[in-house]
């Protein structure tokens, strides 16, 4: 009995030690980025240390007081929020149709949708650039360097993931609830909005959260399909690299600021992540 209890205690100790180790490994880059952001250029080339030694606030105040970087932050908020809303709404409609209407070949449609997410994003750069600059020209203006353009591009890559995520959640809702609503005289829109949507709310929450984070962190398309007006905060980090050198302190400071909205966002909605990811996992 004592041996079994000792093994159990040692197992828990090992598990917690592994958890602490993985946490430290994950947080160390962020901590080091904060240390770099707190030092001046002279201190950065001094003997490196892991401990905070003063705080050089100019690394934060100089770029954040610049209207250019303020516009980058605003662009990121606009694009991420609009993309998350659009992806969540479209994923709700798409998964409702695939799960409830029993369309012929719906499984093939679902698989084809997922394959759009399997390709490397870099393979789409040249086609999208030509489409944005040459094909979609409305009133003499193109989608290049616009909020709408980046929102649509992020939707193109986030929507398949959202549909895949919502499909399992939608399948977990008994179809008998829809049929009961239709028998009582409710229309399809009423069933979707009044019956199904409240039941899949946790899934919609996690879909919105992940879509927002994916769009906020996106760099490749934001750097390629924008020039001045629609650039995001992630692309602004590259502006600290110049022919005269790299301003590591300000780059790290802006990177810290860039991860803060997503971090605060996750802190407030983390309970919905577990609920949404496990919703519909067990069927009766």
pLDDT at 140: 63
* Residue 197's CATH number: 1.10.3720.10
Pick the residue with more confidence: 153 or 178?
153
Lowest-pLDDT choice from 15-19, 226-230, 273-277: 273-277
In a domain, 196, yes or no: yes
Domain count, the chain: 2
pLDDT at 167: 84
User: Cβ neighbours of residue 109 under 8 Å, at least 6 residues apart?
Assistant: 98, 103
pLDDT band of residue 123 (cuts 50, 70, 90) is confident
219, 203 in Cβ contact below 8 A? no
Residues 160-191: pLDDT tens digits?
Answer: 889 888 888 888 888 888 778 888 887 888 88
Lowest-pLDDT choice from 4-13, 94-103, 111-120, 267-276: 267-276
88, 155 in Cβ contact below 8 A? no
Kindly state whether residues 144 and 236 are assigned to the same domain. yes
Kindly state whether residues 143 and 204 are assigned to the same domain. yes
**Would you say the pTM of this structure is higher than 0.85?**
no
In a domain, 284, yes or no: no
Kindly state whether residues 113 and 241 are assigned to the same domain. yes
Q: Note down the domain range covering 40.
A: 1-56
- How large a percentage of the chain has pLDDT more than 70? 89
* 137-138 and 245-246 strand pairing: unpaired
55, 40 in Cβ contact below 8 A? no
Rounded to the nearest 5°, which phi and psi values hold at 190? -65, -40
Which domain-ending residue is among 9, 24, 56?
Answer: 56
In a domain, 283, yes or no: no
Kindly state whether residues 9 and 74 are assigned to the same domain. no
Burial of residue 220, with CB atoms counted within 10 A of its CB: 0-12 exposed, 13-18 middle, 19 or more buried: middle
């Amino acid at each position: 009995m004592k041996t079994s209890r000792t093994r159990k205690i040692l197992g828990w100790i090992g598990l917690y030690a592994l958890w602490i180790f993985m946490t430290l490994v994950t947080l160390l880059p962020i901590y080091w980025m904060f240390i770099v952001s707190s030092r001046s250029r002279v201190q950065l080339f001094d003997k490196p240390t892991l401990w905070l030694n003063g705080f050089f606030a100019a690394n934060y105040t100089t770029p954040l007081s610049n209207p250019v970087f303020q516009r980058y932050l605003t662009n990121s908020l606009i694009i991420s929020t609009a993309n998350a809303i659009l992806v969540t709404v479209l994923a709700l409609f798409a998964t409702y149709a695939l799960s409830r209407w029993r369309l012929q070949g719906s499984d093939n449609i679902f698989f084809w949708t997922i394959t759009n997410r399997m390709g490397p994003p870099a393979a789409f750069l040249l086609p999208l650039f030509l489409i944005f600059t040459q094909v979609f020209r409305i009133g003499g203006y193109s989608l290049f360097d616009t909020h709408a353009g980046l929102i649509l591009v992020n939707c193109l890559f986030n929507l398949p993931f959202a549909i895949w995520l919502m499909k399992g959640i939608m399948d977990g809702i008994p179809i008998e609830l829809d049929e009961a609503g239709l028998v009582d005289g409710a229309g399809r829109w009423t069933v979707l909005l009044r019956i199904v949507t409240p039941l899949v709310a946790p899934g919609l929450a996690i879909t919105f959260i992940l879509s927002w984070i994916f769009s906020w962190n996106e760099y490749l398309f934001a750097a390629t399909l924008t020039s001045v007006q629609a650039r995001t905060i992630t692309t602004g980090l590259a502006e600290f690299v110049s022919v005269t050198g790299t301003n590591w302190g300000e780059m790290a400071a802006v990177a810290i600021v860039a991860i803060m909205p997503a971090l605060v966002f996750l802190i407030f909605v983390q309970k919905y992540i577990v609920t949404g990811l496990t919703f519909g996992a067990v069927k009766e």
